């Protein structure tokens, strides 16, 4: 699996409500401009439970939610 599969992007327009509070969006990784995001539970297609990181990213002129850290493992298993 290549590095382009390391995350899943969901355009904000495909989600009915904001998933992260303003506080969640403003938390930063130490020594970084990157949003820390938050750990969220995920039920995989195999019905296994996982925990992955959800972030809100500005991509070009739009906004997307990103399932990042942990997504590649979920994709490989399913």
Q: How does pLDDT run across 1-53, given as a tens digit for each residue?
A: 555 557 888 887 777 777 666 666 566 566 655 567 788 898 999 899 988 88
Predicted local confidence at residue 3, as pLDDT: 55
Domains held by the chain: number: 1
Whole-angstrom CA distances from 11 to 47, 54, 63, 66, 69 are 24, 13, 6, 9, 18
Q: How does pLDDT run across 50-76, given as a tens digit for each residue?
A: 888 888 777 788 878 888 878 888 888
Residue 47: which domain range? 3-77
On whether the CB atoms of residues 39 and 74 are closer than 8 A, the answer is no
């Amino acid at each position: 699996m290549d590095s382009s599969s390391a995350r899943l992007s969901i355009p904000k327009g495909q989600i009915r409500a904001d998933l992260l509070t303003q506080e969640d969006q403003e938390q930063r990784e130490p020594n970084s401009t990157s949003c820390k995001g938050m750990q969220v539970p995920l039920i995989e297609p195999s019905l296994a439970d996982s925990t992955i990181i959800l972030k809100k990213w500005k991509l070009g002129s739009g906004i997307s939610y990103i399932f990042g850290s942990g997504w590649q493992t979920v994709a490989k298993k399913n």
